[in-house]
Structure 1
């Protein structure tokens, strides 16, 4: 999971793995790691989820998150367009370490996006679709606080 700071990477990871959501923001310093095992056709599949802190001083840890990844989740805050604009650079850097991982473009905080004006929603949605197409990535909008599309990530693979 990569993207700017304060976009909900850790919240999504914790909600997906543990089913809980904490309103209080705790900044990720470096890298967080969690695992979740799910059963698919009587076979246990373990997801190892790496969450990279969004501050630029942690970009040197990008190889740790990307090198052996099967999928890369490029995340942005749907209510802050600047975080979507940052995706280009996150994508470029991450792809430098892993060209084969399946990319996903994940828009977080859908609940906050839903209260934006229709014009803002359309602009952000169109830009996100354009980026996803250029990245050859699936595009998913979610809300951790409202449990929208949180448990669907294992179904994407």
Structure 2
């Protein structure tokens, strides 16, 4: 069933970045496959193909032998190759934690592969995927770590949280109990990594939007309160309808490198909340 969304919002749009200047009382502070193909090209409109330098090899001459001509051309080719700027590479580790069956793996697969499978496969332990994008002369690899939500896997939390640049604390918008669990996930995650940028991510918005207005307001207000206490960005998403999936990782990138992000915020109940500028 396709929900009827307010204000005609649609799936993820592309944001632009430009260089800019540089929690609940927690105990420790704290769409389609085509979209995936487009990410490399549209993530930054300023990405351009570097033009190749014109060949400077001399034309054939009756006064020069074949080997000499080949040697001059090869020498210039090697010099041209050395003149090309080497690409920088950066790895951004992103951890994903939250209760079982809330859509962590689905969101990761949707972002990396651009696909979505309705059949749920429970994560046992830790899932790991990578996606590389190019911005100007830099290759950025998102290294995404997804922890199974069963409590028996909590001993693997350090594997997911240690060295993470950002941690996505995720909950199911249609199950209030998973939002209440965020307190404990946040406490434990911050225990292993106090510097990671926190995000509070609500999943399954396509189902949540059909809830009665008062239920939507209750969950939205509570999520805003939690996000404020966590000093976290708050984003409602839907994997099946490609709502805010790409934007989550664009905002992660912007915050990781102190870049200006032009994605508009959404703060009205009844719409997929997207709040990140004030944290």
* TM-based fold match above 0.5: yes
- After superposing on structure 2, the runs of 4+ consecutive aligned residues of structure 1 that deviate more than 2 Å are none
| 2:102 is aligned with 1:7 | yes
Gaps of 5+ in 1: none
Three-state SS of the structure 2 residue aligned to 1:100 is coil
1:156 to 236, 246, 251: 251
User: Aligned residue for 1:72?
Assistant: 167
Asked if structure 1 preserves the Cα contact closer than 8 Å seen for 2:101 and 2:149, the reply is: yes
Q: Aligned partners of 2:154 and 2:218: how far apart in 1?
A: 29
- The within-5 A match list for 1:37-56 is 37-56=132-151
Q: Aligned partners of 1:3 and 1:42: how far apart in 2?
A: 35
Displacement after TM superposition at 1:75 (Å) = 0.2
RMSD across aligned C-alpha pairs, in angstroms? Answer: 0.6
- What CA deviation, in whole Å up to 9, does each residue of 1:104-128 have, x standing for no partner? 0000000011011000000000000
Provide TM-score, normalisation by structure 2.
0.56
Asked if structure 1 preserves the Cα contact closer than 8 Å seen for 2:99 and 2:149, the reply is: yes
- The within-5 A match list for 1:16-95 is 16-95=111-190
Three-state SS of the structure 1 residue aligned to 2:97 is coil
Provide TM-score, normalisation by structure 1.
0.98
User: Aligned residue for 1:130?
Assistant: 225
Higher normalized strand content (fraction of residues): 1
How many residues of Structure 1 are paired with residues of Structure 2 in the alignment?
157
Displacement after TM superposition at 1:146 (Å) = 0.4
